[in-house]
Amino acid sequence: MDLGLSREQQEFQERARELAERVVAPGAAGRDLTSEFPEKVLRELAAAGILGVMVDQRYGGAGRDCVSYVLALEEISRACAATGVVVSVNNSLVCFPIEHFGGEEARQRFLPALCDGTHVGGFCLTEPNAGTDASAQQTTARREGDDYILDGTKIFVTNGLACGAIVVFAMTDRSKGNKGISAFAVDKCSPGVRAGQAEHKMGINASGTSEMLLENARVPASHRLGNEGDGFKVAMTTLDGGRIGIAAQALGIARAAVELSAAHLRENPGKGRSQALQHRVAECATELEAARLLTLRAALTKDLSMQDRSVRYSREAAQAKLFAAETAVRAATAAVQLLGPAGTARSALAERLFRDAKITEIYEGTSEVQKMVVAASLGFR
Ligand SMILES: Cc1cc2nc3c(=O)[nH]c(=O)nc-3n(C[C@H](O)[C@H](O)[C@H](O)COP(=O)(O)OP(=O)(O)OC[C@H]3O[C@@H](n4cnc5c(N)ncnc54)[C@H](O)[C@@H]3O)c2cc1C
């Protein structure tokens, strides 16, 4: 079906598909077992412009649109969902807020290295007592002359073990609640900033997730993103875009699962003749197409918002992420079920997809949070 993609968008998708098959897929199962960060893979993706897809070319980015971004991310995630989230966080959660809320000095300082693969970025919002309720931040940022001093502990930072730059949210004025949070771009090599414990998870094993410890970390005021007190707005706007990336990641997982299930039924005529099994795969394939349309709609709306600031895409992003994540879980569950015992083998593709898919329902806002966003757009309080 012609989705009206431009020649540039199609070429970018084809380039990502070629890299996904040649560079990303071969080590994916091994990285899942060892949790090895996909460092070499990222260098190749950087050369193709995939680490800074939407970043302006002035800062070393590819200067492309959000539709191109989701097309590429689906291809990468189909090959390796862990690499998919590494790429998604770098683009959506780190490059985006620095480019759109940072001053010129911060953009020049951080973006070229995030786009060319010198650094990968981390996003530090979640804390032991601040996840869904992001306003409950305990990390503090205290002004001292031309700097801020940051103190606190962040958890579940994707890329945390490998990153060179982070976006950090911290309270500059606790008395103001949400409006007392500020956002900062921080050099991970600065004194007082270090990765803590690795987080051992059920899936997305190669994404270097860790705690991030900030102990008397000095950050120049020129690296603040937005005004003092804008941090909550920066976080929510950034996550709206991030959710489109996670929707694309979930599409990649769902597509891999549907392809695996269909191939298995074709290769096993005994099972393949079962209409019940065929229908299960047919349902997953249909949901995958629907999820892709929702994701493209969200990406198109985000692209429109870049020209017209009055265009919002929170609802579109939440609906895409909600539906694509649940589609990935259903498709991966079906793949394990259809393959039977072979689908449960440790690090068999079906089993890896099953573990990776579940996490798409959790990060960058759980499915419950996405429903809250959609409900709010319908006027519910
Ligand atoms: C692999 C992985 C990578 C991650 N990477 C990052 C990262 O890079 N940076 C970062 O900052 N964070 C990251 N996170 C954290 C993630 O975004 C949070 O875990 C998520 O937002 C949920 O917050 P929480 O952990 O505090 O859970 P909680 O808020 O405690 O939620 C637990 C459950 O309760 C439900 N719940 C909570 N409040 C409500 C409510 N009011 N109504 C209904 N249901 C509710 C939630 O939906 C969820 O099902 C990552 C998490 C994982 C698993």
Residue-wise pLDDT for 109-144, tens only, equals 999 999 999 999 999 999 999 988 988 999 999 999
Q: What is the mean pLDDT of the chain?
A: 97
Residues marked active site are found at 364
Residue 371: CB within 6 Å of ligand 1? no
Residue 54 to residue 109: CA distance in whole angstroms: 17
Residue whose CB lies within 8 A of the most ligand 1 atoms, among 93, 126, 188, for a mutation test: 126
Residue-wise pLDDT for 1-10, tens only, equals 567 899 999 9
Residue-wise pLDDT for 88-109, tens only, equals 999 999 999 999 999 999 999 9
Residue 294 to residue 318: CA distance in whole angstroms: 10
H runs (alpha helix) in the chain: 7-19, 28-34, 39-47, 66-79, 81-88, 96-101, 104-115, 231-267, 269-272, 275-307, 314-339, 341-344, 349-360, 367-377
Domains recognised in the chain with CATH numbers = 7-115 (1.10.540.10), 121-225 (2.40.110.10), 240-377 (1.20.140.10)
Residue 131: CB within 6 Å of ligand 1? yes
- Please give the biggest Cα pair distance in the chain: 74
Shortest-distance Cα residue to atom 37 of ligand 1: 132
pLDDT band at 278 (very low <50, low <70, confident <90, very high): very high
Residue 317: CB within 6 Å of ligand 1? no
- 176 DSSP assignment: G
Shortest-distance Cα residue to atom 52 of ligand 1: 363
Residue 359 to residue 182: CA distance in whole angstroms: 28
Q: How far is the CA of 307 from the centre of ligand 1 (A)?
A: 32
Residue 169: CB within 6 Å of ligand 1? no
Residue-wise pLDDT for 212-234, tens only, equals 999 999 999 999 999 999 999 99
Q: How far is the CA of 363 from the centre of ligand 1 (A)?
A: 6
Q: Which two tokens stand for residue 191?
A: 């004194």
Residue 157: CB within 6 Å of ligand 1? yes
Q: How far is the CA of 222 from the centre of ligand 1 (A)?
A: 30
Residue 364: CB within 6 Å of ligand 1? yes
Q: How far is the CA of 257 from the centre of ligand 1 (A)?
A: 25
